[in-house]
């Protein structure tokens, strides 16, 4: 088994299940041209997020980690009439590119981009008495995932569905000698999630064009 094969299989599945979308292709091209890192979810993962949010009937979606708005677009397209998505991003350049990309995809009017450190923005949303979110996607700096879990739960209601990206890191989470702060952050997140009584959780490994990684999926009780 190799990354090359996983990528080929992803290409095949994408050709079967993801319709060609010029605006999403532009999103990737423009983000890359602006020097943003190419670490967005794959098209197949974007579609999974879209299907999950739509199935959850999510009217209010929270995303932590916008980048160029690629996953944001997939999620925003799951919103019903009157729905809204709030996405949190630290880097002004990323937020600016995301804004352009979202406008081009026709979902700009559905999305609020809040620029700043997400832990602070989450605290602000709590303070503002923001209505609970129906679906949350956690995908920013791995060091702060445990804090994002706490923040997301404060902004949830029973039944809220939460997905967290990158929870396996090529199996790095099992390496007892790892000093990578991202790996340590994910490990802390996973143990906190496992001990969290307010959720019912699972995690699945994934392979594909993004290598070997995984998603945690949990529901607020």
Place of tokens 């209601």: 157
Q: Cβ(162)–Cβ(218) under 8 Å?
A: yes
Q: Which is nearer to ligand SAH, 116 or 174 (CB)?
A: 116
C-alpha to C-alpha distance for 201 and 190, rounded to whole angstroms: 10
Residue sitting closest to ligand DHB (CB): 39
Contact mark string toward ligand DHB, 113..142, x via CB under 6 A: --------------------------x---
The stretch among 35-43, 152-160, 186-194, 210-218 that binds ligand SAH (CB under 6 A) is: 35-43
When binding is defined by CB under 6 A, the residue of 166, 173, 207, 215 that contacts ligand DHB is 166
Q: Cβ(215)–Cβ(163) under 8 Å?
A: yes
Would you count residue 147 as binding ligand SAH (CB under 6 A)?
Answer: no
Least distance to ligand SAH, CB of residue 73, Å: 8
When binding is defined by CB under 6 A, the residue of 97, 139, 149, 218 that contacts ligand SAH is 139
Q: Which is nearer to Mg ion, 132 or 201 (CB)?
A: 201
Q: Which two tokens stand for residue 2?
A: 């190799």
Q: How many residues bind ligand DHB (CB under 6 A)?
A: 4
Q: Which residues of 45-82 are buried (b: 16+ CB within 10 A; e: fewer)?
A: bbbbbbebbeebebbbbbbbbbbbbbbbbbbbbbbeee
C-alpha to C-alpha distance for 98 and 86, rounded to whole angstroms: 12
Q: Which is nearer to Mg ion, 89 or 139 (CB)?
A: 139
When binding is defined by CB under 6 A, the residue of 141, 172, 184, 188 that contacts ligand SAH is 141
- Neighbour order of strands in the sheet with 211-220: 111-115, 84-89, 60-64, 135-138, 161-165, 211-220, 199-208
Contact residues toward ligand SAH (CB under 6 A) are 39-41, 65-67, 70-71, 88-91, 94, 117-118, 139-141, 144
């Amino acid at each position: 088994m190799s990354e090359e094969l996983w990528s080929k299989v992803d290409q095949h599945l994408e050709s079967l299940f993801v319709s060609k979308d010029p605006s999403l292709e532009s999103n990737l091209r423009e983000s890359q041209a602006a020097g943003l890192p190419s670490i967005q979810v794959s098209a197949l993962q974007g579609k999974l997020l879209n299907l999950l949010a739509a199935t959850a009937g999510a009217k209010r979606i929270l995303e932590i980690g916008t980048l160029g708005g690629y996953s944001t677009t997939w999620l925003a397209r799951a919103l019903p009439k009157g729905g809204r998505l709030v996405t949190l991003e630290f880097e002004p350049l990323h937020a600016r590119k995301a804004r352009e990309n979202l406008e081009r995809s026709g979902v700009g009017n559905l999305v609020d981009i809040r620029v700043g450190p997400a832990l602070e923005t989450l605290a602000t949303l709590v303070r503002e008495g923001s209505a609970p979110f129906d679906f949350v996607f956690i995908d920013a700096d791995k060091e702060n995932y445990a804090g994002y879990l706490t923040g997301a739960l404060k902004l949830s209601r029973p039944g809220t569905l939460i997905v967290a990206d990158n929870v396996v890191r090529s199996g790095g989470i099992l390496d007892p000698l790892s000093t990578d702060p991202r790996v340590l952050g994910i490990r802390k997140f996973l143990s906190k999630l496992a001990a969290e009584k307010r959720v019912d959780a699972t995690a699945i490994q994934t392979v594909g064009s993004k290598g070997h990684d995984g998603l945690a999926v949990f529901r607020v009780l």
